[in-house]
Amino acid sequence: MMMPRARRTGLASLAARFIRDRRAASAVEFALLMAPFFFLLLGVTQVGILFMAQSALDTGVVRTAETLRADFSNGTGVLPNAGQLKTSVYSSAGALVSNDASLAVEIRQFSSLTSSAVPIVDGTVDYGSTTSTLVLRAQSSVVTLAPGLSGLSTITSSALVRREGT
């Protein structure tokens, strides 16, 4: 003869029903996996923004260096001041680089860079002599969306140009 099973009551019954119930399993799995995927998506987006901003700043610096080189070759004799250099880099760079206090642009003689750790000082203009090799450098900050990536918020770019003629 079969004995009737004792009916569970209270907390044990609730736990047993919860373990057997599969109706909300997908929702629980989604909730557990959503946060890591969201942060992964945010990180990928941030890296994409950094690459695009770096490319934009590189474009602005290279185009400004090309303009300087053409001016040196043509012998126009007009050497742009710090504000004009900054405006030239900004106008060639595009929307991801802003023309505010976060954008620093300098031009100096290559020989004045004694080590690789010379900081960029906004407004430094040193054209040297008529045969100097010049370094045009720019630095800007980028908006950081992803937590933990704030150390990647500064981008820099540089270009060499030889001064001839003026």
pLDDT digits (tens, 9 = 90+) for 98-144: 888 889 999 999 887 777 778 889 999 999 888 889 999 999 998 88
The pair of three-digit structure tokens given for residue 63, joined into one six-digit string:
């185009």
- Given a cut of 90, whether residue 85 has pLDDT beyond it is yes
Flag whether 58 is in a domain.
yes
CB atoms within 10 A of CB 15: 11
Flag whether 51 is in a domain.
yes
Flag whether 5 is in a domain.
no
Instruction: Write down the pLDDT at residue 59.
Output: 95
Flag whether 26 is in a domain.
yes
pLDDT digits (tens, 9 = 90+) for 7-59: 556 788 877 877 777 777 777 888 889 989 998 898 888 889 889 999 999 99
Flag whether 40 is in a domain.
yes
Domain that holds residue 114: 22-162
Domain count, the chain: 1
Instruction: Write down the pLDDT at residue 77.
Output: 67
CB atoms within 10 A of CB 163: 21
Instruction: Report the alpha-carbon distance of residue 111 to residue 131 in Å, rounded.
Output: 12
pLDDT digits (tens, 9 = 90+) for 73-83: 887 767 899 99
